[in-house]
Structure 1
């Protein structure tokens, strides 16, 4: 019988780490300032200590993770699963409604108080959450530091933990609801949406009393053309709509999209490039469906299956706790999330990004279906599967919020049903369609790719894993005819010629085993022989022209192997498809579903890949087709080889995008704030946007629409180009960042075109900024993943964030938290082999300029997100050409000034006293 819940908080010190020193709060309430090294020694002494985010704290002070850490994030994840909390003392205080700490000393004092608040929450909810007890018992068996206190709060005795089965408490899959299959929905209608209907729905979404926004209504009217009936097969209505920041384009296209979905009882897919915007759209849809139960039926957020928890992987990993008891703690935290999650999405939504840091990135990756090992209806958890549930809900939803990569891959595999259930598509962040298509329709014949293919076909091959995952184990009971067994044996025999365990070492030694390893070893040799920077730390690439004779011979042998793979896989697929037609009446529905999925997987994983590999290896003895560019590369990090291979990309990847996606839709909207680059020639800008959207390959020209931003950029922004900082002198660049960040008082985003410069600047300025109360966060420096860093930056108005140029699209920080952007230099395109080919194809120097203007335009767009925002954009590169200034809004003054004057301008313009 349960005892009364009890608050039991162990007396222990608390530690908070700053950039250059730490605060240590003793059990008696005494506060000490310690250097990092001294704090690391105390942590390693083995005594218990309260802290927040143990891995990040240990990394900051340069010590190992303490054996007995009372990590407040662990307790928060257990007590408030699937709830958001910025992983800082301030964020924890806000989540728990405690006073906001102002200093490191306040932060240390907060930690035991926050622990008390969380334990009291557990005491209050103990009767309503029986699963918490089971999971806590499992975690206590794994040595969880919080275990005794949590069990006491739940009214349980920690000594009972030893009597429980190891998996008991982690088996949360048993408590999940089951979904039921339904009859297929009918095909959608094709009734159009006119401009008046779009405006009316927008008005309903905004609600009574909303501020009039004529530009948003104009935008909704313009994009409603996508939702008119198609007039001719193969000729979709395509709208390119550029909407300036602040127009409110999300609600602008949701309005006609939702009307069309209701009138025609069919789904509209809303696609984004970044996960961040995907979740923003999902949040905006609360306006349309304020009732959570109704929204659950009408809206589905879709990602690739590798983003979702696999319950079978969870079960298998939980069984391993009997051997490795320490795994019970991270698995327990995950089990708590599984019991509370909305949809099992592990890359956003209600999954806290910092939980990856606490539980380990590899462990998280191992719980998703990244390797395509799903056994579908043969899985005991099939009726509870998050992925299958999401897929089925999408068939009946009004609005499916997806991402560009998923849409393109699904369309290429025929799984999106374009022209059937799905006829209307919206691509938000439309300026990234080119990049998404480039990734989706490329081929990579590499060590990692081919080793993964071997593992998918042949399984673990004696590595000791509990569940055999080879193709034979997944489909042997479905083969039927003896011919299919021979085809499977032939496929597995051919797969033995693919790279196996230890391929990295063998390639480095130049002694590949099997035709593909020998080909890759020859590729690696040619890359190192011809590269100009073979001893540097970065990746290498060389052209494929004039290959060495041994490389040509190795390519021919590898091509022969891939021909065998492709033929055996085709024979097996055809044989299994024949079963579907010949034994349709005898096969169970579950068996039919498994056969269909295995045949689809054989097609895209083996047959299509093998065909691409054959074509690539053959081209070495001839010439690369005109539409493609090939190259050899060695992917490296800090001078260490990660992968070796041959790549093939379309010179213009929008061609397959148009042929696969656009042509088969009835209507498609591509929209963004940055479709055009601002060259000064409006017609040329639109032509460039159309070329990058793939509409040049359609029979009819797209409809163009542009709605300017309502923001007053000339009054609320400044652009400064600093003329007296040597961009090649890291010390000068660091001094500029320090002075500018100090002038803004935080709220600054520093963008870099190279990771090495980012790290060098961070090491020079972090301590100085912290002494002034400005916390400096940094990508590739802090032991935190990027989504967590952005959450922290957004929540802390006096913090600054350093990141690479690539994060500009992932940062959406309205308000005072982002008031200054500093770019270290003009973000010219990297001079890669692929870029060289595209530069020649798309217009040479003008192509470089267009890409650079778009990057600057997108970065500047992060600065002002609301009408009341103010901000300064600074470029530390005196070589900024005037022809690129069209990246900035009309009327914004661009000043070329020295650093001293720039600092004064930033301080004055961003001062609260400035009107």
Structure 2
């Protein structure tokens, strides 16, 4: 393939040429497989106005295109320029299709040739990349990208990206490339052309594999690193007791080091707690440097006492940060070596036996195909086999469920990959680690469910500890959804070749095994089960319609608590009968499957590897059926004591959206007995643990208040908040209870428009209600006063929280609307965020099933549920929300609280007292706008 590539990028007024959208700039870069040859760029007069959003995004305005040629003038030259080349673009289907439509519109022949999508190619060659957006790939690969969203810059950087990706492909082993080329024939763009040429070149020479790679059973993988615990008996593990010793240790290796006495104080508390077998709760304000503060004494203790310390976090982001940043820093500065491992549940690891067999299937489903290609490349890089390293598409979950690790059902020794098994390697590595990093869920699996994954340990750090109660509830929860149940059943069946029962039946017949339950009986039961699940969720949907609160009738999404009272109404008995029928069918189907599995297991010596892999998959699947059976029993037929039950869904998508769930009302006893009492020492830390300088609420929720002596310390943030921020409370906003939600949204909208204009956007608006968020977003959009602003709203703008936050940071004038999950864990440092608005104080809705059940729990004990639970919970979330604004000592901005209750109620003072002392100003909208303008 000695032909040229043409890399094209277009900027347009919108996404649809059929609806009259037009090109405003175009650039085409000609290149061969080694270098860039030429570039043609032009603005294009679209003949229509450029929307404000596009102008803000691209920086292209009407003045720039006014004297530019129209598309029909450049089309003949452009067609000749690109014809005969391979057409390349980042998201090629958009650029090529738009151009083809425009060629057709102006009567020029369409492009006729092959195409390559650099998004698709990047997903395959860079499977662990955080993002496949052009701007983020360019940044991560240090490719020069001066003007993102302008065609000449985008086309040039896409050309450089293509060269980089081709180079990455050339570095892959031949055996990997051959497997990729076989699969690439069925992807969306013509990547197989690239791979075939590289393979042809490689076959001309004898290939030497890099020293760190090996080929095993036809798959190139990274060689396993032998884990050897360093024998450090002669090392001096003398913890740095004094300030001078700590500074001597930290100063040489930490850039821009500043003395933080709060950090030193926290180090000493952790060190003392471990030495004296004590428990401690430490609230460490933003900027303390708490990760180093607990890691450093933990490492000293683990190495000196030759016993592991476990660090548990709530979020994957913090785990990654600890490994890549803080652990790396400490490994440079400590005078001895130590070993750290990140340990996760087995479903995070790829089962190589199943993966190997799946490569032999002729399955051209796109997500499965792409995931196989990503994994083949990743296996030449990964030492862990942990799926969290991969950036997989949402559609890949079906395939991952098939190849993930779920233990061994045949004997371990029959797995040919046993010597290179990633999960076993992770467990083995953990056995001689000094520090084990894990998450709350994994920790609870180990301790609450007594599943042995960790080595023996008795010293524990729990970071993000304000999430421990919630994590324990989630861990002990039960959930069954319509979609999950139907998906599980879709993998059953007798007469379709891809389905498991078909494969099981063929194996049974091939081995001449006689079974009691005939294939047609099993298939009939599966069909009956499918109908029974439809019927059950249809009845649950009807039950939900009857049970709805009047004020919620207008809302599409619902969450209804299941109590003894409403279980006695609205035909719950029929629902129970339907559930009993499902459980009976599941038991019979599992018996039929198990009968075949047991017989085949006895003849496993006569099975080939593909057949063994099928058996492993069916064993795992049978376990999932058992979990469904037990969950339906506990949710519908025989409810558990001391649990809260609820149904949730969306009325616009019934029954598909329905799920039924249960959680324990209290986790105090479980955590106290299974977690705290098993440990010699536990240190719990977070930036938000106290209410009015007291840890009582936090300790009560997690069961740390019964018979255990606990050191308590609140270490304030070192930031000078008095200089960095100012709190505004408008006095011209009505109480929400006194007006309709529409009127309240209108008032909020007026205030936000005024504030946005003076702050130039850079504004995060936190809501407690999605309905109010949607109303305000729609009012702002329709009024036309903020047309030059980009509005990014959770639940309206597509994308995850991380993606919405990144998009917000990308635009000069932007407003980000968020509900529950945006009150914490969002990190927007510097000038990207200068204004934080809290629309309401973050109380949970009293109608929320979990809140309602917890309130009842307190009332039964004769305790005021508002002061014991609702208020403290809201204050903790308020503190988390406040913490979004000032993330660094150089940050500066304003906070505005629209909820008048913060000053009109007695409890409002508790919110003010919970945050650092900051200047507070009251006033009407115009006064506040003037003040913000002067202050900023």
> TM-score normalised by the shorter chain: which range applies?
0.7 to 0.9
| Residues 258-273 of structure 1 mapped to structure 2, 5 A cutoff | 258-273=299-314
**Residue 856 (structure 1) shift:** 1.1
1:289 corresponds to: 331
Q: Distance in 2 between matches of 1:824 and 1:850?
A: 19
Alignment of 1:686-835 (within 5 A): 686-696=695-705, 698-725=706-733, 728=741, 729=743, 730-762=745-777, 772=788, 775-794=790-809, 799-830=814-845, 831-835=847-851
Match of 1:15 in 2: 11
Aligned ranges 1:525-604 → 2 under 5 Å = 525-532=542-549, 533=552, 536-546=555-565, 547-548=568-569, 551-552=572-573, 555=576, 558=579
CA contact (8 A) 1:14 1:50 kept: no
Secondary structure of 2:899 counterpart: coil
- Shift, 1:88, TM fit: 5.3
Q: Does 1:218 align with 2:268?
A: no
* Cα distance per residue 1:237-280 (max 9 Å; x no partner): 32111111111111110011111221233332211112222222
Distance 1:327 1:525, change over 3 A: closer
Shift of 1:129: 3.6
How far off its partner does 1:10 sit? 1.6
Instruction: Quote the residue 2:923 is aligned against.
Output: 897
Give the alignment partner of residue 865 of structure 1, picking from 858, 876, 887: 887
Count of aligned pairs = 821
Secondary structure of 1:241's counterpart equals strand
Note the alpha carbon deviations across 1:648-668, whole angstroms, 9 max, x for none.
322212322222222222221
Cα distance in 2, alignment partners of residues 75 and 423 from structure 1: 47
Of 408, 428, 432, 1:396 maps to 432
Taking the aligned partners of 1:712 and 1:541, their CA distance within structure 2 comes to 45
2-structure distance, mates of 1:608, 1:540: 24
Give, in whole Å, the separation in 2 of the partners of 1:238 and 1:548. Answer: 48
Task: Answer with 142-151 or 46-55: which moved more.
Answer: 46-55
Shift of residue 75 of structure 1? 4.5
Task: Specify the alignment match of 1:443 in structure 2.
Answer: 478
1:80–1:796 CA distance, 2 compared to 1 (3 A)? farther
Match of 2:210 in 1: none
- State the Cα distance separating 1:503 from its structure 2 match: 5.4
The reply on whether 1:245 has 2:281 as its aligned counterpart is no
Q: Which residue of 2 aligns with 1:176?
A: 221
Q: Say yes or no: does 1:501 pair with 2:526.
A: no
In 2, Cα distance between the equivalents of 1:794 and 1:902?
25
Q: Quick one: structure 1 residues 837 and 124, their matched pair in 2 at CA, closer, same or farther if it must change by over 3 Å?
A: closer
Q: More displaced, 861-870 or 75-84?
A: 75-84
Mapped pair 1:280 → 2:321 = yes
Distance 1:402 1:844 in 2: 34
Match for residue 82 of structure 1?
A: 128
Contact 1:238 1:668 (C-alpha < 8 Å) held by counterparts: yes
Give the drift of 1:864. Answer: 1.2
CA contact (8 A) 2:118 2:162 kept: no
Q: Secondary structure at the match of 1:96?
A: coil
Residues 765, 464 of structure 1: alpha-carbon distance in 2 compared, 3 angstrom cutoff: farther
Structure 2 CA distance, aligned partners of 1:837 and 1:657? 19
Q: 1:142 aligns with which of 158, 176, 186?
A: 186
Please name the residue that 1:511 is paired with: none
For 1:426, the equivalent position in structure 2 comes to: 461
What pairs with 1:200-349 in structure 2 (closer than 5 Å)? Answer: 204=249, 207=252, 210-228=257-275, 230=277, 237-283=278-324, 284-290=326-332, 298-311=339-352, 314-315=355-356, 318-319=359-360, 323=364, 328=369, 331-333=372-374, 335-341=376-382, 343-347=384-388
Question: CA 1:100–1:823 in structure 2 vs 1: closer, same or farther (change >3 Å)?
Answer: farther
In the alignment, is the contact (CA less than 8 A) between 1:753 and 1:805 conserved in 2? yes
State whether structure 2 residue 866 is matched by structure 1 residue 845. yes
Q: Quick one: structure 1 residues 644 and 668, their matched pair in 2 at CA, closer, same or farther if it must change by over 3 Å?
A: same
Structure-1 residue corresponding to 2:898: 876
* 1:865, distance to aligned residue in structure 2 (A): 1.6
CA distance in 1, matches of 2:733, 2:117: 43
Question: Is the Cα contact below 8 Å between 1:17 and 1:57 reproduced in 2?
Answer: no
Give how far 1:858 is off: 0.3
Change (3 A) 1:792 1:410: farther
Measure, in 1, the Cα distance between the counterparts of 2:97 and 2:466. 37
**Residue 32 of structure 2: aligned partner:** none
Tell me the distance in 2 between the aligned counterparts of 1:381 and 1:449.
31
Question: Is the CA contact 2:882–2:915 (under 8 Å) kept in the aligned structure 1?
Answer: no
The answer to whether the Cα contact below 8 Å between 1:405 and 1:436 also exists between their aligned partners in 2 is yes
Alpha-carbon displacement from aligned partner over 1:774-830 (angstroms, at most 9, x marks no partner): 544443334433333334445667654333221333312332223322233222202
Match of 2:496 among 460, 464, 474: 464
Q: CA deviation at 1:741?
A: 3.6
Q: Counterparts of 2:423 and 2:713 in 1: how far apart (Å)? A: 37
Task: Give the distance between the partners of 1:100 and 1:403, measured in 2 at CA.
Answer: 40
Match of residue 886 from structure 1: 912
Larger gyration radius, structure 1 or structure 2: 2
* Structure 1 residues 74 and 362: CA distance shift in structure 2, 3 A: closer
Gaps of 5+ in 1: 161-169, 231-236, 477-481, 508-516, 578-582, 911-915
RMSD: 5.6
Q: Give the CA deviation at 1:399.
A: 1.9
User: Is the alpha carbon distance of 1:7 and 1:694 closer, same or farther for their aligned partners in structure 2, counting shifts above 3 Å?
Assistant: farther
Question: Comparing 364-373 with 654-663, which one deviates more in the overlay?
Answer: 364-373
Instruction: From the superposition, tell whether residues 86 and 889 of structure 1 become closer, same or farther in structure 2 (CA, over 3 Å).
Output: farther
Shift in CA distance, 83/531, structure 1 to aligned 2, threshold 3 Å: closer
For 1:549 and 1:182, how far apart are their aligned partners in 2?
61
Residue 440 and residue 366 in structure 1: after superposition, are their counterparts in 2 closer, same or farther (change >3 A)? same
Query: How far apart are residue 748 of structure 1 and its match?
Result: 2.8
TM-score normalised according to structure 1 size? 0.74
Structure-2 separation of matches of 1:878 and 1:214:
37
Q: Structure with the greater relative contact order (CA < 8 A, sep ≥ 6): 1 or 2?
A: 1
Cα distance in 2, alignment partners of residues 599 and 444 from structure 1: 22
Q: Give the direction of change, closer, same or farther, for the CA distance of 1:467–1:329 in structure 2 (3 Å limit).
A: same
Match of 2:171 in 1: 128
Deviation at 1:890, TM superposition (A): 3.4
Q: Do the aligned partners of residues 899 and 193 (structure 1) sit closer, same or farther apart at CA in structure 2, a change above 3 Å counting?
A: farther
Query: Offset of 1:404 from its aligned partner?
Result: 1.1
Partner of 2:672: 658
Structure 1 counterpart of 2:511: none
TM-score, normalization by structure 2: 0.73
Structure 2 unaligned spans of 5+ = 16-20, 29-39, 55-70, 72-78, 102-110, 205-214, 509-513, 859-863
2:396 to 336, 341, 363: 363
Q: Rate the CA distance shift 1:122–1:736 in 2: closer, same or farther, 3 A.
A: same
Relative to structure 1, the CA distance from residue 811 to residue 499 in structure 2 (aligned partners, 3 Å threshold; closer, same or farther) is farther
CA contact (8 A) 2:119 2:132 kept: no
1:670 aligns with 2:711: no
Shift of 1:860: 1.0
* SS of match in other structure, 1:866: coil
More divergent stretch after superposition (863-872 vs 606-615): 606-615
The answer to whether the 8 Å contact 2:285/2:717 transfers is: yes
Relative to 1, partners in 2 of residues 1:522 and 1:734: Cα closer, same or farther, differing over 3 Å? same
Aligned equivalents of 2:498 and 2:618: distance in 1? 25
SS of the residue aligned with 2:685?
A: strand
Query: In structure 2, what is the Cα distance between the partners aligned to 1:466 and 1:288?
Result: 50
Deviates more, 1:830-839 or 1:532-541: 532-541
Residue by residue, what CA displacement relative to the aligned partner does 1:573-613 show, whole Å, maximum 9, x if unpaired? 9xx99xxxxx9xx9xxx9xxx9xx99998999688886776
Q: Residue 143 of structure 2 aligns with which residue? A: 97
Q: 1:779–1:536: structure 2 CA closer, same or farther, 3 Å change rule? A: closer
CA distance in 2, matches of 1:180, 1:390: 11
2: CA distance, partners of 1:853 / 1:472: 56
Contact 2:347 2:406 (C-alpha < 8 Å) held by counterparts: no
In the TM superposition, what is the alpha-carbon distance from 1:437 to its structure 2 partner?
1.0
